[in-house]
Structures are given as structure tokens and as C-alpha cells.
A and B are shown apart, each in its own frame.
Chain A
């Protein structure tokens, strides 16, 4: 236990020591404001991999690490679509995931914000539209509010995209 405390004290708070000019910090401040105003201080996201290669998932995980710490802005991920304000979708929508994606979307309460994250979610990326196994890009299947480019998008791009979606409604 003492060693753990020592380690925690030694490492300190990484998210606090970000340079003031850091893009994420500024975004974050704006995000906290939007989340406070529009979602009573708490925005809840359900992430769905609709056919991703897992690259995007790694970067979503990174938004939760000590450097980006997206939770300090009131943004967290949930297991149930019933509690979710936002659906964060990665990957081209595979024909085998199409139904599960639609069901997740239908299970959400309004306003059902949807963010399509990554080049695959936007236009099927490297896997291509002319592909028997791909049902389409995310917006071909469900309505999309914001798209985040990148293969995969960086954690700060993801936070920026979430902000844009919150502001869009």
C-alpha cells in the first residue's frame, strides 16, 4: 500500500500539468461548459465497434488515460445504450454487425447523438464500399451528427469531435 501511495505521489497529476496552450485542455474547457449547459453536467457515451480493426478502440481508451482524462469534463462511457446520450461508432458497418448497431441505436433515449469516428466509419476506409461484407458507412445505416476523420483519430481529435456533436443540437 505504501509503495502504491509513493508511486501515486511520485507520478502526480498528469492531466493538471498539461501546458496551457495544449489543444486538449482548451477543448476540454469548452467541452465541460457545453456538457454542463446541455447535459446537466454529465454526458454519457455508448461506444459501438461496428466493424473496426480495433485501432479506433485503442484511441478511445486513450481518451480515458491520465493525460486526456475525458471523465474530468463530465464525459463517461456506459455499458447500456438506455443511459446513453451519445453513440460513438467505429468501423465500416459490417453486414454481420448491422442489426446490432441498429438495435443499439433504437435502444437509446432521445436526443440520440451519433458520432461516426474514423475514416472507416465515414466512408468505409481501406476496406472499401464495393465489398460484399460491408453494409455501408455509419451514415448509410443511422443518422450521424458529427464525423471524426483519422485512421485512427487521435485522442484529442476524438474529444474535439465529441464537443462538436454536443454543440450540434
Chain B
């Protein structure tokens, strides 16, 4: 596994007159971190946009053990390009940082998060309302500052209500929904502005399941941190654990045995299939097509049972460990996995024929909740949400991390951007993931399933981007003394895709909201951290 250093973006920045230095102590070399001046921050983002790069994430960290000490904080942003791999930029921050929202609208919530957590003032921010910081937080609490006492629950203060977007017209009424929703789902608040049955605007207010994960990670051993990362979003446990492990392994310069990377991918593709199956059932159920829910959940349960038997956990939690995987598969297990994969793929195709054949469900999904290709590109929508709207980033192809360097992944390319297309993408992905699993089982290399974890010297950081079932999970880790986690940042794809939902439902009647929401199925926990 050796990749050339990625110099493309540094050269383009140079062309634009922006000076940058490669940060030593950041890995891997093919996803470098470039340090620029704060004055050039917004200019660099503008250049990235001009070069058709996708904004991956934006975050901040206190200065690390190897930083010169002339700035207390650093801001980071990561970009991706389909042909030139990921690149990170960072700049020292005293108290202020310019917003890059003018170039990447998806940056807004991440910038609000930086304001909330670090007290960095983002200038020119078009929306500077608090985000994760709910109204009852004390004014001076900045949880990711090391001076903050993070050991005790925040005391409750009263600072009024969140300033939701309002409409002055008397014909517009508001529908508040949540945080406790009607079904068995995660909590969050949706504020609808409606005219008659039609949604005029939907605003999501999240942060309810904020669990202080970024801060709780600090000071943990990498092994312990991995257990926490596996619970950032319980439905994406493989993707998040893999992203954490790979970022740490990059930082430590550890190469995972080939067999282990195959098993990781196998787990990740099973997670993709299981979630798509469950969601297709749930989407149909929201249109009162319960037959499909029951059929799909039957298949999902069969997968959970086999997961438990072979990997020890129904949802595959803690199946990934630093340096490899926790559980090997023998010949009998491989045969069982292959048999189930083939059978479920076949059954899903049969059910798909029934789904396609039913006007009652088709009427509801076709044309509902459209996101245009232009909007998808603007927001940088990820995973199946992007793929339904003409935007196709896939880290299995762009980053081609092992074992995907050996397999050609075919991604479904939708364009219409409605619920039906999002469902179509999921059906296609089930078929493709099944094909990949079978190919991986056939080509499964012999050898060890893990290598020893050896922490790097303090101050080394690593970055990884893993294609989870919802889309790209991007993780950045800096390790400190004794191999303990000094800072962990993760961007779940939902952080971006929630914005797509808000756009999609502007064209639908209120009763179609659940259907649309389920077709996106964004994570609350992964967003709120």
C-alpha cells in the first residue's frame, strides 16, 4: 500500500498565489495537510470551489504537542476531488476565522459547531445561531477548550427559545414536530411552515442527542476510543469504526493485513445491505405498504442472526479492531455468508418486482421530494442521496482504500432526485454489494487478520474517508502522549445530507414528509455527536 504524495492542490494553490506548507506529522502522504495563512482561508476555499472540489468537512482543534505555540487553535478543512484524492488545509486561529459559506453552503452548520464548541468567532457567517449549543447551555461553556471542566453535566440556564425561521403571512401556519417523534426513531425537532397542506419551509433543529463524543474521546487509549467511535451512529458501526481505525492506522504507519481489509469490507457491505433492506421496508410502510416492511424486516433479521453467529454481534459492533478485525471467518462461515448473500439478493429482486408493480406505492414515491442535480452538487450530497440526484462521490472509488483497490465498484447513477430514485439507488446498491461480497469471498486472501497496534509518537495526526452505507464517513485523529487520543473529529454523511432533506420537502405536502425523511434516513446521533 503505497501512494504518491498528493501535490496537485498545493500546486493549484500556488498558481493562485496562496502559499502553503506541508504539515509534517500528518499522514497519509496521499491525503496531505497543508498549512496556509488565516488571511488566505476564504480565498483557498474559493479556489477549491473553482476547481470543482467537494467540501468534506470543517473543524477545529487546539494546538497539538508539535505545534509551535503561537496560536491556541487551528481550523481545518478537508476537500475531495474525484481524480485527485483528499487534501486537508489548516490555519492558526487566535479568536476569529472568516466563513467559507459563500463558496460552500454546507460549511455553515460546521462553522456554527466550531463557534459552539470552541468559541471561535466566525465572521461573515450568514446564520450565526447556535447549533449544538441549545438554549439552556451556560453562555461561557466551550466544551472543546481544555480549560473547560468537562467532568460534570452542564448546569441549566434559561436563554429563551431558538430563533426559528418565521413567516409573517397570516396564511402560513407552523407545525412543530419533536424532539420526541411518533415512531421509534431518534429525536430531533422539525419546524414546518405550511400553507394548507403544502410545506413552504422545513427547518431541522438538531443536537438533542449530543453526547459530547469529541470531548469524551480525549484522553482515551486508541483501543477504548475505537469502542466509542463504533457507537457514534449505531446503524453505521462498521463504517465509523473503520474510519477511526484507518485514521489511527495511517497516523501510526500500520499496514493492515490484506485478509483483514477484505473482512472489513465484507462487514461494511453487509451493513450497507442490511440498512438498505430495512429502509426500503420502512419507506414503503410510511406509504402504508406494510407487506414490504414485513418482508424486508424478515430478511434483515436473517442477516442479524448470521452476523451474531459468525461475528458475535447482530449489528456487527466491535467487529473491527485496531490493526485488523476481531473475528476470522473459516470455510464453513464463508460458505454460509455466500449462501445468504446470494439468497437475499435474489429475494430482494423478487420483492423489487412486486414494489415496481404496485401503482399505490409508485404513486407516492415517483416525483415526491425532488432534489435537483444542481442543488446536490452545491450541497455536496453524499451516498445514495447524492447518487439519486446526479452527484456521485464514492470513496471506494475515489480513495480506493484496500480492498477496493482490487475491486471495481459500480455505482448506480440516478438523476431524478425523488423518493423513487433514492429507493432505486438502494435496490441497485443491494445488488452491487452482494456482488462485491461474493467476489471478496472468492478472492479472500490467506493470512493474519490483524497486526499489532503500535501508537505513533505524540502529535501525529491521521485522516481517513470510508464509504459507509449513508456515504462518506470522514475521520481525523491526532494522538497524544502514550498513544492516547488527543483530538478526534468525525463527519458523518448526515451532516451534509440533512440539508438535502430540507430542500426536498419544500415541494411536498405535509403527509409526505415521513416518506421523504425515511428515504434520506439521516443519522441524528452521527450529526449531533
Contacts and interface: CB of A to CB of B under 8 A. Distances in A.
Interface in B285-340: 291, 294-295, 297-298, 300-301, 304, 314-315, 317
Contacts of A143: none
A79 B182 contact: yes
A3 B353 contact: yes
Contacts of A56: 234
Contacts of A77: 183-184
Interface stretch (B95-103, B147-155, B194-202): B147-155
A65 B211 contact: no
Interface in A10-54: 11, 14, 47-54
Contacts of B350: 7
A126 B228 contact: yes
A55 interface: yes
A130 B233 contact: no
B92 interface: no
B295 A11 contact: yes
Contact of A61 (B231, B278, B354): B278
B180 interface: yes
Given A49-B186, A55-B317, A136 B523 contact: no
Interface string A123-135: 0011110111111
B15 to A, nearest CB: 44
Nearest to B141: A132
Given A126-B227, A127-B216, A55 B353 contact: no
A92 B207 CA distance: 14
B234 A132 contact: no
B351 interface: yes
A132 B317 contact: no
Nearest to B181: A79
Nearest to A69: B294
B232 interface: yes
A127 B217 CA distance: 9
B211 A51 contact: yes
Given A66-B298, A126-B227, A126-B228, A61 B184 contact: yes
A66 B185 contact: no
A145 B377 CA distance: 50
A151 B228 CA distance: 12
A60 interface: yes
Interface string A68-94: 000000000101010000000001101
A127 B228 contact: yes
Given A54-B235, A94-B208, A154-B314, A132 B143 contact: yes
Contact of B523 (A54, A97, A131): A54
A53 B525 contact: yes
Contacts of B134: 95-96
B268 interface: no
Contacts of A142: none
A132 B180 contact: no
Nearest to B148: A132
Given A3-B354, A53-B232, A53-B525, A96 B150 contact: no
A4 B354 contact: yes
A53 B351 CA distance: 30
A99 B158 CA distance: 12
B524 to A, nearest CB: 7
A54 B186 CA distance: 7
B209 A94 contact: yes
A160 to B, nearest CB: 16
A8 interface: yes
A152 interface: yes
A131 B152 CA distance: 6
B230 to A, nearest CB: 8
B136 interface: yes
B210 interface: yes
Interface in B210-251: 210-213, 215-216, 227-228, 231-235, 237
Find the residue from B152, B212, B524 having the highest chain A CB count within 10 A.
B212
Interface of A: 3-4, 7-8, 11, 14, 47-62, 64-67, 77, 79, 81, 91-92, 94-97, 99-100, 104, 125-128, 130-136, 151-152, 154
Given A66-B298, A132-B153, 11 more contacts: A7-B350, A51-B209, A51-B211, A54-B234, A54-B524, A58-B315, A65-B298, A95-B156, A96-B207, A135-B153, A151-B317
17 contacts: A11-B298, A14-B298, A54-B524, A61-B184, A65-B294, A94-B209, A94-B211, A95-B137, A95-B154, A96-B209, A96-B210, A127-B216, A131-B151, A131-B153, A132-B152, A133-B153, A135-B153
List the 5 closest pairs (A to B, CB-CB), nearest first.
A55-B234, A133-B212, A79-B182, A53-B234, A65-B297
